[in-house]
Structure formats: C-alpha cells, structure tokens
Copies of this chain bind each other. A is one copy, B any other.
Amino acid sequence: MVIAQSGGPSMVINASLFGAVKAAASASASACIGKILGARHGIAGILKDDYIDLRKVSGEKFKAIAQTPSSALGSCRLKPSPEDCREIFRRFKKLDVGYFYYIGGNDSADAARIVAEEAAKEGYPLVCWHIPKTIDNDLRSCDHTPGFGSAARFVASAVRGDDLDNRALGGVKIDIIMGRDAGFLTAASALARVRPDDGPHLVYLPEVPFSEEKFVRDIKAAMKKYGRCVCAVSEGIRGRDGVPIGAKLGSGEKDSHGNVQMSGTGALGDALASLVKAKAGIKRVRADTFGYLQRSFPGIASEVDRKEAVKAGETAVKASLASARKGVLTGTVGIGRAKGAKYAAVFEPRPITDAAKYTRSVPKEFIARNGCDVTDAFIRYAKPLVGELPRCETF
C-alpha cells in the first residue's frame, strides 16, 4: 500500500494519514496489505521511489504527528500526465503495490482519478482512492471537508481578536482570508461575533461580484453606524468580469492544475486599504493578509475537525477494501450530515468523480441579501465544525 498527501497542507491532514494507516495496519489478512509506504511529496515522490516505511513509525510518534499541522509526508501540486502514470505503474509493479490512497482537495482527487483511469486502461488492478482534505471546503462530495473546521477556527479566532484591537484604536481594518473560488473560510469570520456591534461588520465572498464603489459605500455606512469597521475579504473576490482582483495584482504564477497564486502576498489588502483611504477619506486604514497561518498554526485545531479527519482516512481504507471485493477499485469518501438537532457527520463511499476537478461555491442561502454578510443558516452550518472559541470579554 502506498499513501501520499497532495495540495495545500491543513492542520489535520496528518490526522487523515494516521486514520488510514491505522485502518490498513489492522485490515484483515485477506486484504494482503504488506508494507505501508508513505510517498514523500505526493506523486513526485512516487516517481522517484521516495518512501517512508510507515509500519516502522512508533505509535507514540504517529499520534503526535496526527496532532501536528502541515503534510508530514510532504506535498506537491502535480497533475500526472499519461506518461507519469505509466512510470508510476512500472514502479508500483516492482514494489507490488495493490493499494494507493491520495489525501487532498479537488485537484488531488482529479490526480487520483487520472491514475485510476490510466490503471484501468492498462489493466493494472490498482485500488486507488481519494481521501478528502481542503481548508477551502469546496469539495462537491462533502457537506464539509476535513481541514475546513480548523482553518475556520483560526480565522474566527483571529477576527475576534482583531475586532477587539480595532475597538481599541478605531478606523478601518481589512482582513484578507484564503479561498481561491469558494468563500466558506471568509464566511467563517462571522463566527467571531458575540455582541451586536462585534466585527466583522462586512464580509465579501468570491461568490458575490465585487464592486469598489459598493465596498467604499458599505465602509462609510459601517463607520457611521459603529464608529469603526472590520472587513473580512476573500482573496478570491472578483469583479463583474469574473477575473479575481488579487490575480490582477499578483505575480500571475500558476501551478500545473492552472490555479493562479494568490496567497503569500499582501497586494490585495494593500490595494483595498489605499482605495478606502483615497475614496472614503478615512485616515487609519490597515490591512492584514492572514496567509499561510490559516492552515498551519499549531495547537488550535478544531477537535471535531481532527476527529473527522481521522475518520475520513479510516473510512477510505475500509470502504476501499469492501468495494474492491465487489470489483470497484476507485472512490472517495463523501461526508454528509445526519438529520436532527444534534450535529453528527456521516461517512460514505462515493465515486471519485464526485470530488475531482470541479468545486462548489458557498450556496445562496448562506449569503445575506445585502451581498456583504452571511446568513444565520451559515452560522448554524459552520458552528459545530469550529467549536467554541476562546471567550473574549470587554467593558
């Protein structure tokens, strides 16, 4: 068995690795899982036989890794070509690999789908599954995705603290939050609110066309109402032309899946701050770009998220063994939500194409009619995933 991690890291992607390896290690003898190899840096590592023997990692150490942010095996952003796949199978055959698990988001699911399809073409009976992970929460196969709850917890906590900071010194604060196409993480900033005048006072998602004029108008109105203003803005906001504003300002760098780089630069925040200073005539305007801390900050992961990440890994291995017995070699783990008042997640096998390539956006019922806030339905949706935030009290 080979397992690997791909795409952007999260705070709980190692928990999924842990869950999958635990399930594989305790699989019945009929599954014939011998060595459990972790490929370093995803498919890139497979293409040079760069593996860690995961059965040799002590339970104590693996448990600590499961609590650690980032992808402990290393990651990559590589879309495998048919030639890559042939090279993968050549190497897999040498190592007698029968099972392959790929933990990642929609691009990683698409990479696994390509590997599965090429294996089928070649007649190589490879069990090839995707395990869901993404802080963006944009997989179509999941009610919510492991990694989102913890990143959302960082964002909501950060905005709660930042709102208190803005109370102290006033003016406009703009916080740029990750999420290339989907605004779930930016929407989660609304979980920071406790009192009626708490920020974020304005929330801008990529799902709503962004207008500079409306933005300035909204801020002026919030300043009038609250005497200060905290805005949560998605890095992926785009104008009516559909082109992300951050991409216009950025380096134009793309990965092999065609995604434009947006994180790792403060350009969008700075541009919006300049706009507000110039057009709204407000002196104190600050912008922070939360950046990679949203997915990597240690010690603050959501417990619900971490447990579900373990379960997603376990489910992938168990479900793949069960469906392989029925002749189905590929799939992903869908995550649903049980009906009823008490929150519970439901894990079920789904076709890998449900997770691959295409993403989902924040649905209309989660976006407020004014276009710059979320609805109560979103708060009800997101709260159980994030958990209770640190209590903050003020006079």
A interface with B by C-beta (< 8 Å): 5, 8-9, 38, 41, 52, 57, 61, 64-65, 67-77, 157-158, 160-162, 164-165, 167-169, 173, 251, 253, 263-267, 269-270, 273, 277, 283, 285-293, 295-300, 389-395
Contacts and interface: CB of A to CB of B under 8 A. Distances in A.
Contacts of A74: 167-169
Contact of A65 (B67, B75, B394): B394
A69 B277 CA distance: 27
Contacts of A299: 157, 300, 389-390
Nearest to A286: B264
Contacts of A70: 161, 164-165, 167-168, 394
Contact of A165 (B173, B253, B295): B295
- The 5 A-B pairs with the shortest beta carbon distances in the complex, nearest first, are A266-B266, A264-B286, A299-B390, A288-B291, A70-B164
B391 A292 contact: no
Contact of A265 (B76, B173, B273, B395): B273
Contact of A266 (B73, B160, B269): B269
Contacts of A392: 68-69, 298
A60 B61 CA distance: 41
30 contacts: A8-B169, A9-B169, A57-B395, A65-B395, A68-B391, A68-B394, A69-B161, A69-B164, A69-B165, A69-B392, A70-B164, A71-B168, A74-B168, A74-B169, A161-B296, A161-B298, A162-B296, A173-B292, A253-B283, A264-B285, A264-B286, A264-B287, A264-B288, A265-B266, A265-B273, A266-B270, A290-B293, A298-B389, A298-B390, A300-B300
Contacts of A253: 283
A276 B263 CA distance: 17
B161 A297 contact: yes
B168 A9 contact: yes
B394 A72 contact: yes
Contacts of A73: 395
A255 to B, nearest CB: 10
Given A70-B167, A72-B164, 19 more contacts: A5-B168, A9-B164, A9-B168, A57-B395, A68-B394, A70-B164, A73-B395, A75-B168, A157-B299, A161-B296, A162-B293, A162-B296, A251-B277, A264-B286, A264-B287, A265-B266, A266-B266, A266-B287, A289-B289
A127 to B, nearest CB: 24
A290 B158 CA distance: 11
A249 B273 CA distance: 14
**Which residue, of A65, A69, A165, has the highest number of chain B Cβ atoms within 10 A?**
A165
Contacts of A295: 165
A168 to B, nearest CB: 4
A161 B277 CA distance: 34
Contact of A157 (B167, B298, B389): B298
A267 B265 CA distance: 9
A280 B277 CA distance: 35
Contacts of A160: 298
A292 B72 contact: no
Nearest to A17: B395
Output the residue of A8, A251, A265 with the most chain B CB within 10 A.
Answer: A265
A8, A71, A283, A296 interface centre (most CB from chain B within 10 Å): A296
Contacts of A286: 263-265, 291-292
A57 B8 CA distance: 46
B264 A267 contact: no
Nearest to A72: B394
A349 to B, nearest CB: 28
A14 to B, nearest CB: 9
A293 B65 contact: no
